[in-house]
Amino acid sequence: MKRLPVVRTLLSFEAVAEYSSFSSAAASIGMTHGAISHQMRTLEEWLGQPVFERHSGGVRLTRNGERLRQACKHAFSILEQECQQIRSDAATQALTIACSTTFLAQWLLPRIEGFAQEHPDLLLHFQTRTTVDALLAGKVDVLILSGHSSSPVEGADVTRLVTDRIGPVCSPSWPTPPTGLEQIRDVPLLHATSRLNAWSEWIDAVGLKLDLPGGTVFESLSLSIEAAKGGLGFAIAPEFLVRHEILNGTLIAPLGFSAVDRGTWIYTRSEEGQRSKSASFVDWLLGAGLELAPASR
């Protein structure tokens, strides 16, 4: 660290520069005239030249004294701003949550109000950059991913949120919903680029031996779900992501749902401070995970 005068002395100097008087400056910061006069002499000795011109009415700054005053004003202003920002950050912590667009739109956003009301001092940020690298780099605090399995990740804690059960869904106004598994080959299929093999997963899960035709492809699962609600065909979706729509009657699942080797996982960084920061949200997610369990039939 570069050598500087004692910070307390610089604060006293700033007060003297403001009041142009040792006595007035001393009174403003709770010091005696003798103590502040001693500090100014020490400062001038340290600098090797005077910063004040003494006269009968008080003191005035020399040219170098004015330079020092401007430097102190700038430095203390930066210190004050940064200290206030640190205090503000401590009072209102931010938590960045990353997940797929579909999980965010279909499940998280419709439910997050309850968590936000319980934690009014926690500022929530959402993004769809769903990579473990972003988590480990500190750009994300909680990462929610869907996949077939979760391999251990150095520096991260991984917890299963739910095991997927998937099935075909369509609009309740569909003229003749299939009543048997093999009838699925006769309806228009909707696909999502994020899960292009989802229909194959479902076929394997229910034990079918057939080749399904192609169909319309959407950029995200949420778009394919919306298309199914609009009557364009059948989307293949996890039960927990469409349960609300099924309960309110905007979607039906005529063939039910089947378990597949896929789950949704919660990733957080392993550092002690990070765990405490994200713990309340993870606990809330896991509690909400009870809702994600298969519905009784």
φ, ψ (nearest 5 deg) of residue 55: -145, 175
Q: Rounded to an integer, what distance in angstroms lies between the CA atom of residue 28 and that of residue 19?
A: 9
How far apart, in whole angstroms, are the C-alpha atoms of residue 93 and residue 87?
10
pLDDT for res 272: 59
**Which bin fits 260, alpha (ψ -120 to 50), beta or left (φ > 0)?**
beta
Nearest to 131 by CA among 83, 171, 98, 169: 98
The pLDDT tens digits of the residues spanning 50-87 come to 999 998 888 999 999 999 999 999 999 899 888 877 77
Quote the Cα angle for 145-171-263, to 5°.
20
Could you write out the three-class secondary structure of the chain?
A: CCCCCCHHHHHHHHHHHHHCCHHHHHHHCCCCHHHHHHHHHHHHHHHCCCCEEEECCEEEECHHHHHHHHHHHHHHHHHHHHHHHHHHHHHCEEEEEECCHHHHHHHHHHHHHHHHHHCCCEEEEEECCCCHHHHHCCCCCEEEEEECCCCCCCCEEEEEEEEEEEEEEECCCCCCCCCCHHHHHHCCEEEEHHHCCHHHHHHHHHCCCCCCCCEEEECCHHHHHHHHHCCCCEEEEEHHHHHHHHHHCCCECCCCCEEEEEEEEEEEECCHHHHHHHHHHHHHHHHHHHHHCCCCC
Nearest residue to 42 via CA among 19, 20, 16: 16
Domains identified in the chain and CATH numbers: 7-90 (1.10.10.10), 93-161+264-292 (3.40.190.10), 164-261 (3.40.190.10)
For residues 155 and 132, is the Cβ–Cβ distance under 8 A?
A: no
Taking each helix axis as running N to C, give the angle between helix 109-118 and helix 272-292, from 0 to 180 degrees, rounded to the nearest 10: 130
**Residues in the chain, pLDDT under 70:** 1-2, 88-92, 149-150, 272-275, 289-297
Is residue 233 within 8 A of residue 216, CB to CB? The reply is yes
